[in-house]
Chains A and B, each alone.
Chain A
Amino acid sequence: MRILIAEDDFVSRKYLFKFLSKYGECDMTVDGIETVEAFAIAHDSGNPYDLLCLDIMMPKIDGLKALNTIREIERRKKIQDSKRCKVIMISALSETEVKVDDSKKEYEVYITKPIEIENIISAMKELKLID
């Protein structure tokens, strides 16, 4: 499994990297621009990410804007919804405050910080990335 961890906070990033490395090859980005670029490069090289763990409050371009662009890239490449990258939003903001309409939700799972490993495992199971 190929995983992209988009998280600006060093401690959270390291924590996610250590945990997720057990399940696959992890790359890390620290802002929204880097994240979209990493995603596009991975696609263009024929080695796309299976899972993206994405923070919202990131430098430069926020996670939600970055995600909209990522989904646009997938749509342009005519990737079916079932085969698109699975996205877990991980944010200090509660989901109710982020106020994304259900019809416009581009992520699969939303987890509120502090990061609990059980929540990540449960999300990955729900997304059928692990058994």
Chain B
Amino acid sequence: MLKGFPTRRDSIILAAIDIISENGIQGLSTKKIAEKQGISESLLYKHFDKLDDVLVAVLEYFSQFDSMIANTVIKKDISCKDKIIEYIKSFVELYETYPALASIILNYEVLTHYDHTRQMITEIFTNRLRFITQVIEIGQERGEIGHYYTAQELTDIIKGIMLATTFRWKITGYTCQLKDSVLTTIRKVLETS
């Protein structure tokens, strides 16, 4: 390992993500992070005042590209269906190669029980949903997407596909192709909507 890279702060965040993936958020503790890092808990506290702050940093890391992805996709000269596919693809492509990070989306509900993360996870989840809903609404106005489902219903179906497929992918030992499975199903739903 190169000295000073990754930084201690980044290493703590990455270790926390691994622990959440292996043991769930309830299994995350400063002791476990320190053990995984081979450092003392007091050194960890030089970078984070408390465990809640580590969780906040994990969520910042988890959502660091969100607005960039949304702004990139919305400006693309492609159909609304393709914008939704591109948007979802940006996330699942990263999760497929970084399964531990995907475990965060399977912990949305748990994160609402912590004071420090409740608002943050709500905003992350809501913003991601809102983007999809807005693109669907534009697609429906343009006649690119049908009106069988409302934009909200279709958003819930798309998000549900992503969450359920990610969960199936995890419990089957990451054996299926996450990106292909999610995108193929969402494409079918959009084509038949």
Contacts and interface: CB of A to CB of B under 8 A. Distances in A.
Interface of A: 8-9, 30-33, 36-37, 40, 56-62, 65, 69, 73, 92-94, 97-98, 112
A30 B97 contact: yes
A8 B2 contact: no
Contacts of A73: 2
A60 B14 contact: yes
Given A36-B2, A59-B101, A69-B2, A9 B93 contact: yes
A42 to B, nearest CB: 13
Given A9-B97, A59-B98, A60-B98, A93 B69 contact: yes
A61 B101 contact: no
B71 interface: yes
A43 B75 CA distance: 40
Interface string B1-18: 110011000100010000
Contact of A94 (B64, B72, B98): B72
Given A36-B2, A37-B1, A94-B75, A8 B97 contact: yes
B13 to A, nearest CB: 10
A79 B21 CA distance: 41
B90 interface: yes
Contacts of A98: 68
Contacts of A65: 6, 10
Contacts of A92: 69, 72, 86, 89-90, 93
Nearest 3 pairs between A and B by C-beta? A59-B98, A8-B97, A97-B68
Nearest to A66: B5
28 contacts: A8-B97, A8-B98, A32-B6, A33-B5, A36-B2, A36-B5, A37-B2, A57-B65, A58-B94, A59-B98, A59-B101, A60-B98, A61-B6, A62-B64, A65-B6, A69-B2, A73-B2, A92-B69, A92-B72, A92-B86, A92-B90, A93-B69, A93-B72, A94-B71, A94-B72, A94-B75, A97-B68, A97-B72
